[in-house]
Amino acid sequence: MEPKRLNKFISDTGFCSRREADRLIEEGRVTVNNKLPDAGTKVTPKDKVRIDDQMLRVREEVPVFLAFNKPAGISTKTDDSVKNNIIRALNYPASLQPIGQLDRDGEGLIFLSNDTELVRKLVRGDNRLQKEYILKVDKVITPEFLDKISYMGPPEPGEVQRKHTVTKEGPSKFRILLEPNADHHIKSLCETLGYKVVHLQRTRIQNISLAKLANGHWRTLSQPEIDVLIETVSGKSSRKQEANQDEFAEARRRELAARTKTFDKNRSAGKPATSKSKTERVNSKRAASASKSTPRNAAAKPESKRTFSKDAPKGAGRNTASKPATNRSASSKNTSRKPR
């Protein structure tokens, strides 16, 4: 490992940020090999770095960035004393840190990484990312509630108030797109209007959605996906990237608006309302078709080793990144013949 600046070394251990490390160094609380370091000192893992006589160690790890579909009942705290915390649940061989918060009783998409600088950047700019949620409340939703929740949350200083896209998907169920630079504490926003959230699922963060990621499973994000997140929170997106993101967000808003009209139309006609989009319906049909074409005596797929600890919810924490996507190609059809 190449030598790195002392403040970066301290930051990589997870002890504190670079700025806080600089302050500790100035206060004389940091020693390198039992000596006070000079300005611009560089160190390696072989050096003995201490803060207030506490030895710091950096684990040699390959940077990793995961998207995890968190089940309800898992805490996003990293403290080992917390039962069913997300780190113990994943049991991933790296010193991961969750990015952002998701209540223990909530479920859905959350990111984790062992890159401390990347984690800090994304946590600091978390409210710059558009998020999509599905919520169920404790009583029937009124038109007044939908109208008020779409404008809830004061904007950031210097930002213009933007309307959140809200779609009613059941008598007490709705989907909401929380726009960037606004209050994203959706549960407290509902409570302000006299509604209690009984179920919450986060389905998308910016350009990344749950898609086919099953509950309790994780996958590794690609570098282009990570780049979009970093550029968005840092405000360094190119005009082309911003145009693409705006086009995607607008298309999603139009789709949800169309679903609202369909829901209202079906309800007035006495038909059952559906909360599935066109893409979700296509995926469901493909999954059903694939299950019918699978031989009854087919060998079961081996489970991933990335499983939860014994005290965590059963059947979760598996990696689906290596699983092939289900398709309708000829290779996926059942070619077995019945015995004569």
pTM for the structure as a whole:
0.62
Task: Single out the residue in 255, 284, 304 at which a domain terminates.
Answer: 255
Integer Cα distance of 11 and 18 in angstroms: 5
Q: How far is Cα 26 from Cα 41, in angstroms, rounded to an integer?
A: 13
CATH code of the domain in which 11 resides: 3.10.290.10
Domain's final residue, options 14, 32, 56: 56
What distance in Å separates the CA atoms of residue 171 and residue 136, rounded to the nearest whole number?
Answer: 9
**What average pLDDT does range 103-119 have in this prediction?**
92
Count of Cβ atoms closer than 10 Å to residue 167 Cβ:
24
The residues with which 209 forms a beta bridge, in sequence order, are 204
Q: Is the pLDDT assigned to residue 340 strictly greater than 90?
A: no
Is 110 part of any domain? yes
Structure-block tokens of residue 335: 């070619």
Question: For residue 80, what is the domain's CATH number?
Answer: 3.30.2350.10
Give the bridge partners for 108, in sequence order: 70, 202
Range 97-117 average pLDDT = 92
Q: How confident is the model at residue 240 (pLDDT cuts 50, 70, 90)?
A: low
The runs of H, that is alpha helices, within the chain are 6-12, 18-26, 86-90, 116-124, 143-149, 186-192, 223-234, 239-268, 278-293
220 confidence band (pLDDT: 50, 70, 90): very high
Domain membership of residue 250 (yes or no) is yes
The residue segments making up the domain with residue 155 are 65-255
pLDDT for residue 297 is more than 90: no
Q: Which of 38, 103, 126, 246 is catalytic?
A: 103
How many domains are contained in the chain? 2
Residues 6+ apart with CB under 8 A from 327: 286
Predicted pLDDT of residue 275 = 47
Copy the structure tokens of residue 242. 């911003």
CA–CA distance, 219 with 317 (Å, rounded to integer): 10
Contact yes or no for 176/135 (Cβ under 8 A): yes
User: Is residue 246 flagged as an active site residue?
Assistant: no
Classify residue 45 as left (phi > 0), alpha (psi -120 to 50) or beta.
alpha
